């Protein structure tokens, strides 16, 4: 890429000529990899608003660039936040001027969206931190990754622009190590394995993701069996990519959905469990048995490798105790 921007540091206006090595890339991908400090979702949003032009013409995020094309446009200044700060409880694992690491409870949505305008992690962060305004747009200040509403566990949030762009690149370059715990339906026959199936939007059900999408993106999930029971398995999960609902979709695709998953786990729902004691334990948990246990990354300010751990939540702990008592504890 050759950057012809006259004010590169301000990133207000830019003009970039596509080189041979970027020939054939999607426009949103090309922009996210340019030196503009944009995530792919941010690039897509700017293209859709016609703030980015391809050869002086508006186009779509999926348009493919060719060598010698000119990509130009303007980057608006961050808009002021229009969200309410709310005094919601936060379980803070670590905090410094650059980052804050949260132990997110199940049931909390990460950022506001249709149907969840308040009560989110972002609302709580705005109350706790007074310096998030302008980082990554209006609704997602400082958010560099997310957990589903009913997935619990460790999350890192950036507190300034430098930390945001550094962490965003780490996630994009797959240098962040993520480890999850999941209780899945059915007993896994192997001790470990890898699922490598592309994931994209479900062709007819827009709230779901699928491994059968026509335009899926690469997704890789490694897993290791920790304990096996009659009808369930405790797994340690190592996602190598970060697609929406990746772990839940992948495990469901091999016939072992996360226990209690309301979207991808028809066979893993409590009603499908024959043992009455275990069924009652799963009902009391009332969510998918998925927990983000560990997160390891390079600190954006110090350059040191750091790791944070979220202890297994009580509802999953109770379910495991129920499994050990009534379904026979097994070894990996």
160 and 185 inside one domain: no
Structure tokens at 84: 């309410």
Is residue 187 domain-shared with residue 219, that is, in the same domain? yes
CATH of the domain at 7: 3.10.290.10
Q: Are residues 234 and 124 in the same domain?
A: no
Does residue 265 fall inside a structural domain? yes
84 inside domain: no
- Say how many residues make up the chain: 332
Alpha carbon 170 to chain centroid distance?
Answer: 13
**87 belongs to a structural domain:** no
Rg of the chain (C-alpha set): 22
Contact between 210 and 199 under an 8 Å Cβ cutoff? The reply is yes
Is the confidence at residue 257, as pLDDT, over 70? yes
For 25-59, the pLDDT digits (tens) are: 999 989 988 877 677 778 898 999 999 999 999 99
- Reported as a pLDDT band with limits 50, 70 and 90, residue 129 is confident
Any idea what the CATH number is for the domain that residue 195 is in?
Answer: 3.30.2350.10
Task: Taking residues 84-98, report their average pLDDT.
Answer: 93
**What are 32's strand-pairing partners?**
none
The predicted pLDDT at position 43 comes to 87
Can you tell me the distance from the alpha carbon of 56 to that of 205, in angstroms, rounded to the nearest whole number? 36
Q: What is the mean pLDDT of the chain?
A: 86
Listed in sequence order, the residues at least 6 apart from 208 whose beta carbon sits closer than 8 Å to its beta carbon are 201, 202, 245, 263, 264
CB atoms within 10 A of CB 10: 11
Question: Does 148 participate in catalysis according to the annotation?
Answer: yes
CA quadruple 51, 57, 58, 64: dihedral sign: negative
Q: Could you give the CA distance from residue 68 to residue 128 in angstroms, rounded to a whole number? A: 47
Question: Domain residues for 31?
Answer: 2-74
- DSSP class of residue 176 equals S
Query: Does a structural domain hold residue 332?
Result: no
Lowest mean pLDDT among 45-54, 120-129, 201-210: 201-210
How far apart, in whole angstroms, are the C-alpha atoms of residue 143 and residue 83? 14
Cα separation of 327 and 303, whole Å?
46
pLDDT at 8: 38
- 309 and 196 in a single domain? The answer is yes
229, 251: one domain: yes
Q: In angstroms, rounded to a whole number, what is the distance separating the alpha carbons of residues 8 and 2? A: 12
Q: Are residues 97 and 157 in the same domain?
A: yes
Q: Using 50, 70 and 90 to split pLDDT, how confident is the model at 253?
A: very high
Amino acid 213: pLDDT? 83
* Residue 6 maps to a domain: yes
252 with 300, same domain?
A: yes
> What integer is the mean pLDDT of 16-26?
92
Kindly state whether residue 82 falls inside one of the protein's structural domains. Answer: no
Per the DSSP assignment, residues forming a β-bridge with 258 are 184
Order across the sheet with 2-3: list the strands: 2-3, 13-17, 70-74, 52-54
Q: Do 181 and 295 fall within a single domain?
A: yes
CA-to-CA dists, residue 209 to 168, 176, 183, 299, 314, angstroms: 23, 23, 20, 32, 29
Does 190 share its domain with 252? yes
Q: How many domains does the chain have?
A: 3
For residues 52 and 50, what is the distance between their CA atoms, to the nearest angstrom?
A: 5
Residue 83 located in a structural domain: no
Residues 288 and 188 in one domain: yes
Phi, psi (deg, nearest 5) at residue 247? -60, -45
Residues 297 and 193 in one domain: yes
In a domain, 79, yes or no: no
Q: Exactly one of 22, 28, 103, 148 is catalytic; name it.
A: 148
Q: Same domain for 226 and 312?
A: yes
Q: Comparing C-alpha atoms, which of 166, 173, 150 is closest to residue 262?
A: 150
Q: Helix 314-326 and helix 276-285: axis angle, to 10°?
A: 170
pLDDT value, residue 69: 96
Q: Two tokens at 93?
A: 């694992």
Query: What are residue 254's phi and psi, to 5 degrees?
Result: -105, 10
Q: Where are the beta strands (DSSP E) in 167-219?
A: 177-185, 192-196, 200-201, 209-210
Residues 302-306, mean pLDDT to the nearest whole number = 97
Domain end, chosen from 32, 48, 74, is at 74
């Amino acid at each position: 890429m050759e950057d012809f921007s006259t004010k590169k540091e301000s990133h207000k206006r830019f003009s970039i000529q596509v080189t041979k090595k970027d020939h054939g890339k999607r426009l949103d991908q090309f922009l996210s990899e340019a030196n503009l400090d944009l995530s792919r979702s941010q690039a897509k949003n700017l293209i859709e608003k016609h703030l980015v032009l391809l050869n002086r013409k508006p186009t779509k995020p999926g348009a493919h660039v060719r060598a010698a094309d000119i990509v130009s446009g303007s980057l608006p200044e961050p808009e002021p936040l229009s969200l309410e700060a709310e005094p919601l409880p936060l379980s803070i694992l670590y905090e410094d001027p650059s980052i804050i690491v949260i132990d997110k409870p199940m049931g909390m949505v990460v950022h506001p969206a249709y149907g969840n305008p308040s009560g989110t992690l972002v609302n709580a962060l705005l109350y706790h931190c007074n310096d998030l305004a302008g980082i990554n747009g209006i609704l997602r200040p400082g958010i560099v990754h997310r957990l589903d509403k009913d997935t619990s566990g460790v999350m890192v949030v950036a507190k300034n622009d430098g930390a945001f762009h550094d962490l965003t690149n780490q996630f994009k370059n797959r240098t962040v190590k993520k480890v999850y715990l999941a209780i899945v339906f059915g007993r896994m026959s192997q001790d470990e394995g890898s699922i490598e199936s592309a994931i994209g939007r479900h062709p007819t059900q827009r709230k779901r993701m699928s491994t059968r999408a026509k335009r899926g993106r690469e997704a890789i999930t490694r897993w290791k069996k920790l304990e096996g029971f009659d009808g369930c398995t405790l797994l340690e999960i190592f996602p190598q990519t970060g697609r929406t609902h990746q772990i839940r979709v992948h495990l469901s695709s091999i016939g072992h959905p996360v226990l209690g998953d309301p979207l991808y786990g028809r066979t893993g729902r409590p009603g499908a469990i024959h043992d009455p004691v275990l069924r009652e334990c799963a009902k009391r948990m009332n969510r998918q048995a998925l927990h983000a246990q560990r997160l390891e990354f390079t600190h954006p300010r110090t350059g040191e490798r750091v790791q944070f751990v979220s202890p297994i939540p009580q509802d999953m702990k109770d379910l495991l105790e129920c499994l050990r008592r009534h379904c026979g504890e097994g070894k990996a």
